Amino acid sequence: MGALEVLVSDILCEAGLKKLDVRTRTALELPGYFRATKKWDLIVVSNGTLVLAMEFKSQAGKSIGNNVNNRAEEAVGSAKDIWTAFREGRFGESPAPFLGYLFLLEDRDNVKTPVANKEPYFDVDPEFRGVAQGKGKGISQYKGVSYSKRYELLCRRLVLERLYTSACFLMATNSPRTKITQPASDLTFRRFVAALRGHVVTFLGSRRE
C-alpha cells in the first residue's frame, strides 16, 4: 500500500498542492465525534483547511473471510465519525473535505468463490444472495457472492450513501509479476483520481477568488 500512497501523493502535488501539506507518515490524526481522534492514512491540511482525508486498506492471505465484516464496520464508522465532527465545527468553517477510500484485495481463488450466507430468521440483501441453486423444502437456496464481490459492493455503497466522496477497488496477485485488475468500472483508479483532482482544482480555485 505504501506505493499507492506515494503515487496518490505525487498526483496531489502535480494537481497543485504543496508537498508539505500532503501528509502520509506523521501528524495524521484528525478530530472525531464518537472518539477524540482518528489516524488517517493520508490527509491534506492547507492553511488551516482540511482539504481531504483518505483510507488505504488491503486484505490478503487465506483468512480473508474473517475480516470482511470488520472492514465494513470500520469504513462506515470512520466516515460517520468524521462527518459528524465536521457538522459540529471541528474543522472550522471550511467547505466539506474530500473523503476517499481505496481498497486493495489479494487476487486468489478463495476470494472469487461464492460464500453462502447464514439466514436463520430474515433474508439478507438480494445483492449478497447471489444466484439460486435449487430448492430445499420449497425454499430457494442461494450460493451467496464471493468476498471480492462483497468488497466491491462495500466500496460502491460507501459512495452511494455519500459516506465517502469516491472509492476505488483493486485486486492484485501476490507474485513476482504482479497483475492488477479493476473488477468494477465505477470503482477504477482512473475515476478515483479524476474525482480527487477535481476536488483539488476546486479548492485551489476558491482560494484565488
Domain annotation for the chain: domains and CATH numbers: 2-112+148-208 (3.40.1350)
pLDDT band at 61 (very low <50, low <70, confident <90, very high): confident
pLDDT at 1 over 70: no
pLDDT digits 0-9 by tens, 27-55: 999 999 999 999 999 999 999 999 999 99
* CA pair distance 102, 106, nearest whole angstrom: 13
- Sequence-distant (≥ 6) Cβ neighbours of residue 145 within 8 angstroms: 114, 115, 127, 128, 129, 130, 153
Segment 162-177, tens digit of pLDDT:
999 999 999 999 988 8
pTM here is 0.92
Is residue 68 a contact partner of residue 150, using CB atoms and an 8 Å limit?
A: yes
Rg (CA), the chain: 19
At residue 140, the pLDDT reads 58
- Distance from the Cα of residue 114 to its chain's centroid: 22
CA–CA separation, 204 vs 182, rounded Å? 30
How do 37-39 and 139-142 pair as beta strands? Answer: unpaired
